[in-house]
Amino acid sequence: MQRLKDKVAVITGSSSGFGRAIALSFGREGAKVVCSDVRREANAGGFEEDMQLPTDDVIRGNGGQAAFVKCDVTKNKEVADLVTAAVGKFGRLDVMVNNAGVYRGGKLMHEFTEEELDICLKINVKGMFFGSQEAVKQFLKQGSGGNIVNLVSTAGLGAYPRQSVYNISKGAAANLTRSLAVEYGQNQIRVNGICPTYCKTSLTRALFDDKAFDKAFTESIPLKRWGEVEDVANLAIFLASEESSYIHGDMIEVDGGERLSRYSV
């Protein structure tokens, strides 16, 4: 099935992890994919089998259409230029996936530095704001609606210990998503958030390799396993497609039942 046939999608943070999996899956579903990141190469330490190849090369190698545009999502002009480049390359924009993000954790609130707070707010909040803002401008110009998929987190739905600066940023990301949905639904611009728990990416490699953490985390999940990037990518395809045409403003958990784990046996 080509569920995204001929849709033009911009995906930030697409060189590794969730963004890479989403970009590859969009390409397989027929989308014209504009991959974007601060570097074209995948992050070291990830779980990708073909990490020696840039995401856009893999898409084209599989017969899809893709381009790469370097972009720092914390810089508004670079995000505006990214959308302009996507439209210049493929003629329009249909889907914006705001995936670029950063994680900081492992400390109590009073131990975090201002720099650690700032980087979470800049990338996870400002980056998503700028990406959404530029996408909305283009959607309104086109006059035919559009679709925004934001990578939030279960940390945007509740407080998790020892990652307060991350929780703050993802709480803001969740409310930004809701605000967009309220303001632009009338323009047929759909907006939804994906809320994963820990999944196997380069950002969580150290936690995955920590046997004590791995055991405790896995046991806390009713499905008793880590999330895979494909679990997130499959949901992103659904939300970007017409199959989800009446789903709007939702925060959809991809967590193996983690937020129900207090009830597991």
CA 114 from centre of chain: 25
Angle at 169 between CA 148 and CA 126, to 5 degrees: 55
Which residues are bridge partners to 12 per DSSP? 36
Backbone angles phi, psi at 65, to 5 degrees: -110, 130
Residue 92, both tokens: 């329009």
166 catalytic per annotation: yes
Query: Which is nearest to 230 in space by CA: 19, 14, 34?
Result: 19
Return the ∠ at Cα 232 (arms to 76 and 4), rounded to 5°: 75
* 17 token code pair: 């992890």
Provide the token pair at 159: 């407080």
Element (H, E) at 88: helix 76-90
- CA atoms lying within 13 Å on the CB side of residue 114: 0
Active-site residue, from 103, 166, 184, 198: 166
Could you list the active site residues? 166
